[in-house]
Structure 1
């Protein structure tokens, strides 16, 4: 039996799971406190969780095929100011020297309201970029206080040679360094520079963490790939985190929603991950989590991650008092205060409780409510206690505690408030919900969601999700194993890599070159070449394309969990097209993608029937939707004439060229505009060398990221 291990380092707890590779069955799970303040940082808790998992499940180390991690290390480093001062090396040619100098000379980066990243500057002419000049510039930056280097050249995405030259010298001097072209393939010199600086600043801490993890796990006898999840759902070898540390920001929420979609296929909806200290909310669109570029305070970056909004309340949040009124809950939690939850304490242990207030940490206001007994033992009053007092947490749920204990705990508070326990408990949950509700409503408006389902994730999901669903008037679903869903998500995630490139529609050969490069990167990361699936989608607002390659780790069994059957794919396509499932016809299925179509009544103007199309991949994501499209298929040698006929028919009805989707085997190319270059299929690598059916769809795609 092959086993995959997933470990997620959260803000409050570190969770580890063992998953049977093929069936996706959960073999075992453990939770330990996250070790923020240990000398080894969060890495200590990560290793403790792994060792505890082995002990609890009795798993043989030799049966483990793969370990995948997600970690808060990058976020912690930025929030806590655990960063290295950065020397920024700008590079420009004589023709653009002034402009390049100005756009690479960034100010100190505000990481939080209290913390800034110190930045020092140097500038080099590309025409005079000798090794000696570079070394002198780097030594000068080191003398001024720089402990890491960011190098950013004008037009570095077109020719990264100057940036690589600086990286080589930095490595020889023992300096961690990042180049702008490593962070993005898009134009935008200032944003690339700032992103490279932020990434460089956390390289020393991330290198220290990953080394400790590798050494500790190796000491347990492990000789399997160690992988890490990034905030954009990409999964790469752990050593990539030493190069692209900042890309792991928000990898925890990414892992959670990835895990949730394995169990619950959802076309459009909201997700809400309720932890112990904070709650993350986001959107699922077209079967995938919505992504956005990360902002650090007011600074835009090139980093893409799951679009997450954060509220400072969760299952472990402490209730706050103002006189005889509840003044909300959080941001401090029972974990931070070091207090136990009364609902997880047997009722007989709770007697003669009196209400007190305290400051969980030095400098905090002394308005957090707690309980104290005659022997001086103290207990928290949390949202989880309120939900249990009301009997809202179902049997078997992770947050389920003793209802009697919860009621005893809330009795002194209710007495202070002058109301019954039930009303006090409801008031606590309502006050907490007010912190999260505006975030959810903003997402509904921003993404124009119509009666979305609210998906509950995290150990505290049963505490807050039903309350928020009721306030929003929507249905909700709490996913199985919600408390460890992030660890399940990383354990079963495919190896994947994503890049963005500036692109002109008349460059099909260049696009194919990028596709092949990305396939090779995925294989180099450890993916089985036969399983690598590549998708290309346009980014019209940036005149660019986004490419993603994903595949099963070589030497491991691919899990069946998360793969959709025909009925589920048909249902998702029907939702995307807003028709009944029985109205759809399956016209193409190659094991990676399914194409469904339906025809509607005649339209005005050109008197013809409209063909509506939807493409669903094997994970249930919608890759293409056209309200009025055209579809042809066949082997490469059959298609060129069909494509010419298709182009003629399209040009009659469209004022602008429609998007085109080309599917062959695991490749899915969503091209921004139709053009004559598509007639030559060999330019796209579809020259018949691989005798597989090809599907070509054209239409104004409704899918947006």
Structure 2
């Protein structure tokens, strides 16, 4: 088989990382770092050129061998944080005073003293024509607008008026976008605001997109450049030009994508720990949790991963006052422009503990060390972990424990403690702050602490993950190639799309339509149709129909570095993950490369006086990756030919009933290397027509495993 590679590039605030992955085996061929070229005439594209030339030349990779190339970027996020955005002019369209009010968006404060400047014109629908549109554009240009937003009432149902405005603006050489291109949800004010934020990013992102695309072409790579999205997927440059807002927070999403694709994590809390901050996100049932992103305290209709960030990481500094540790962070050694004490290249002979204010207006009780030559070093969490000897020698964050202990011994001596006591107390203080956020995630997403695993990624993964897990009695794992997990995530990310549509009491045709629309959309974005997986959800309270699709450009997720296990090995993996003996497992289903097991678990009762037994259903694939762990669930195996009738009978049998009617269980199907998630649909009538579409290509005797989970 000819050599094929995937290239991922992660453009960070300090470094631009590049990685090359073999498309067939999943083997990492090369890893490189260069300084991010913020101030180059070509911007960050110059750093991308450096990375590409380096990794392709040194590894004898020809442009024809690159089947996928993507990069993650913090540009949209940074532009919003720094206020580096274009002024926007809105043309509101409607028939009422309310439409005029809801399309009139005031200046948006992005950061203290930094605003997105917005101007507004309104055209009554009866007066809408090219002449009045051009008059409105003239006024907006005079007010300073560089990008035009068209926002019409009910444009999610009929976008023709917005399209007319866009056409007029483009004829005049202006950037233009509209509400219906961003969201199909009702809510004119939020839709308009989201469009304004999106529009403000277009000029800068277009400039960078053009330069980056030029770099790729100059290198000779034919594969289309993909860009990381905020929800963990990738999108084409063509889509970025229309919806740059979707790349907002994509830098945070790359690590989670790496955990899903490379680490094959299906359940747990992913901790990406760098030098200045820790990002925490929940992975449940093989999915990432998403929420509506906010900008400047304003809600938008843009979905991003639910990532909680704290200023706790490997470089976090320590505050000591009146002989007590008063806090850990938020300042890091990087911001204080100090080296870490544990990474000193020589053994110090004289260490003096001093206090500083790392930045203006900071408290003056952050501790640093000064050695005999006058150079100074920060006391850090990485130093504490190395002083305690909890970081493995082959780890990215490992440093000489001897030197670290010298510094921490001196710090402890000043405050009447041993180095071990001081380092332990600092790590405990940091862990308490992180664990408080983890507890919020556990409660919000209803995670079972008995099965909870903390998955550490990032360069400082080992600094805190192990200690945190042991302190709180949960399992942990440091993901392979943890320091490069974000870049790996970029290289392996799937094309992703989501449509949210306002539909009151959706019927079968509505569900079929949104499913077909998202399939067409994601295929047009570069995904291979045979790899696309779609889930549809009905939100009966908000009257929203939600379709999510994910697909690959050149490979199927399950094909990467697949190692199929014997059934005995799979059972051992399940038993180990569940913390039981294999004798507690009973096989209850099998279809394709999927297995279902019933696991008998014992849990302690009140005051540990009574032992309770409970059964957990586990779905696992032939690689030993656990896909589902569910209580109150049931498994059955049928064939494609009997699937409709079996599913109707089983959902009837396992439904509950209330004043609102029948509540069917969540439905998941497994067969022939594919999973189908129908948990978001609320009736069998909605599910069956979609099953007919999804299973149309299968033979009638194909085995299908059904998992029903009580809601």
Partner of 2:610: none
Matched, 1:116 2:115: yes
Q: Which moved more, 1:367-376 or 1:439-448?
A: 367-376
- Residues 342 and 643 of structure 1, relative CA distance in 2, 3 Å threshold: closer
> 1: distance between equivalents of 2:501 and 2:620?
24
Partner of 1:16: 18
Q: After superposition, give the CA deviation of every residue in 1:171-224 in whole Å (9 maximum; x if it has no partner).
A: 333333332222222222222122111212222222222223222343333332
For 2:541, what is the secondary structure of its paired residue? Answer: helix
For 1:174, what is the secondary structure of its paired residue? Answer: coil
> 2: distance between equivalents of 1:624 and 1:500?
28
> 2: distance between equivalents of 1:84 and 1:447?
38
- Alignment match of 1:68 (pick from 70, 73, 82): 70
Matched, 1:286 2:295: no
After TM superposition, give the deviation of residue 153 of structure 1 in Å: 2.0
Q: Which moved more, 1:322-331 or 1:663-672?
A: 663-672
Partner of 2:391: 393
Q: Which moved more, 1:214-223 or 1:477-486?
A: 214-223
> 2: distance between equivalents of 1:342 and 1:51?
35
For 2:662, what is the secondary structure of its paired residue? Answer: coil
Q: After superposition, give the CA deviation of every residue in 1:36-75 in whole Å (9 maximum; x if it has no partner).
A: 5666555444444444434554544443221121121121
Q: After superposition, give the CA deviation of every residue in 1:48-104 in whole Å (9 maximum; x if it has no partner).
A: 444443455454444322112112112111111112222222222x2xx12222222
> 1: distance between equivalents of 2:271 and 2:375?
34
Are 1:459 and 1:482, in contact at CA under 8 Å, matched by a contact in 2? yes
Partner of 1:439: 437
Partner of 2:83: 81
Are 1:573 and 1:622, in contact at CA under 8 Å, matched by a contact in 2? no
Partner of 2:586: 583
> 1: distance between equivalents of 2:690 and 2:374?
78
Q: After superposition, give the CA deviation of every residue in 1:393-439 in whole Å (9 maximum; x if it has no partner).
A: 11110101122232344455344434333333233323333432321
- Residues 633 and 573 of structure 1, relative CA distance in 2, 3 Å threshold: farther
Q: Which moved more, 1:450-459 or 1:417-426?
A: 417-426
Are 2:591 and 2:637, in contact at CA under 8 Å, matched by a contact in 1? no
After TM superposition, give the deviation of residue 134 of structure 1 in Å: 1.8
Q: After superposition, give the CA deviation of every residue in 1:651-698 in whole Å (9 maximum; x if it has no partner).
A: 99783252675869868462623365777x499647957756596969
- Alignment match of 1:417 (pick from 415, 418, 421): 415
> 2: distance between equivalents of 1:8 and 1:490?
7
> 1: distance between equivalents of 2:622 and 2:154?
38
Q: Which moved more, 1:171-180 or 1:485-494?
A: 171-180
Matches within 5 A, 1:83-482: 83-92=85-94, 94=95, 97-262=96-261, 264-322=263-321, 324-348=323-347, 350-361=348-359, 367-451=365-449, 452-482=452-482
Q: Which moved more, 1:513-522 or 1:355-364?
A: 355-364
For 2:111, what is the secondary structure of its paired residue? Answer: coil
Are 1:537 and 1:669, in contact at CA under 8 Å, matched by a contact in 2? no
After TM superposition, give the deviation of residue 484 of structure 1 in Å: 0.7
Partner of 1:674: 683
> 1: distance between equivalents of 2:194 and 2:563?
35
Are 2:506 and 2:545, in contact at CA under 8 Å, matched by a contact in 1? no
- Residues 563 and 669 of structure 1, relative CA distance in 2, 3 Å threshold: farther
Q: Which moved more, 1:456-465 or 1:432-441?
A: 432-441
Are 1:270 and 1:454, in contact at CA under 8 Å, matched by a contact in 2? yes
Q: After superposition, give the CA deviation of every residue in 1:237-294 in whole Å (9 maximum; x if it has no partner).
A: 1332222222122323322122223455555422211111111112122232222221
For 1:111, what is the secondary structure of its paired residue? Answer: strand
Q: After superposition, give the CA deviation of every residue in 1:430-481 in whole Å (9 maximum; x if it has no partner).
A: 3333432321122122223222211111111111112322332222111111
> 1: distance between equivalents of 2:554 and 2:517?
18
TM-score, length of structure 1 as denominator length:
0.84
For 1:159, what is the secondary structure of its paired residue? Answer: coil
Partner of 1:608: none
Are 1:389 and 1:403, in contact at CA under 8 Å, matched by a contact in 2? yes
Give the superposed CA RMSD: 3.9
- Residues 363 and 698 of structure 1, relative CA distance in 2, 3 Å threshold: closer
> 2: distance between equivalents of 1:377 and 1:107?
50
- Residues 411 and 210 of structure 1, relative CA distance in 2, 3 Å threshold: farther
Q: After superposition, give the CA deviation of every residue in 1:307-336 in whole Å (9 maximum; x if it has no partner).
A: 111101211223344465444343333333
Partner of 1:658: 664
Are 1:342 and 1:381, in contact at CA under 8 Å, matched by a contact in 2? yes
- Residues 645 and 409 of structure 1, relative CA distance in 2, 3 Å threshold: closer
Q: Which moved more, 1:143-152 or 1:273-282?
A: 143-152
Q: Which moved more, 1:653-662 or 1:278-287?
A: 653-662
Are 1:534 and 1:667, in contact at CA under 8 Å, matched by a contact in 2? no
Structure 1 unpaired stretches of 5+? 601-610
> 2: distance between equivalents of 1:581 and 1:501?
45
> 2: distance between equivalents of 1:402 and 1:529?
52
> 1: distance between equivalents of 2:655 and 2:141?
60
- Residues 240 and 640 of structure 1, relative CA distance in 2, 3 Å threshold: closer
- Residues 617 and 104 of structure 1, relative CA distance in 2, 3 Å threshold: farther
Are 1:492 and 1:559, in contact at CA under 8 Å, matched by a contact in 2? no
After TM superposition, give the deviation of residue 536 of structure 1 in Å: 2.2
Partner of 2:8: 6
Matched, 1:28 2:37: no
> 2: distance between equivalents of 1:289 and 1:667?
16
Are 2:202 and 2:242, in contact at CA under 8 Å, matched by a contact in 1? yes
Q: Which moved more, 1:167-176 or 1:227-236?
A: 167-176
Q: After superposition, give the CA deviation of every residue in 1:354-394 in whole Å (9 maximum; x if it has no partner).
A: 44444545565555443444544443332212221221211
Are 2:262 and 2:488, in contact at CA under 8 Å, matched by a contact in 1? no
Q: Which moved more, 1:39-48 or 1:555-564?
A: 555-564
Q: Which moved more, 1:188-197 or 1:118-127?
A: 118-127
> 2: distance between equivalents of 1:194 and 1:186?
13
Are 1:587 and 1:597, in contact at CA under 8 Å, matched by a contact in 2? no
> 2: distance between equivalents of 1:411 and 1:45?
42
- Residues 595 and 196 of structure 1, relative CA distance in 2, 3 Å threshold: farther
Are 1:253 and 1:308, in contact at CA under 8 Å, matched by a contact in 2? yes
- Residues 583 and 102 of structure 1, relative CA distance in 2, 3 Å threshold: farther
Matched, 1:534 2:543: no
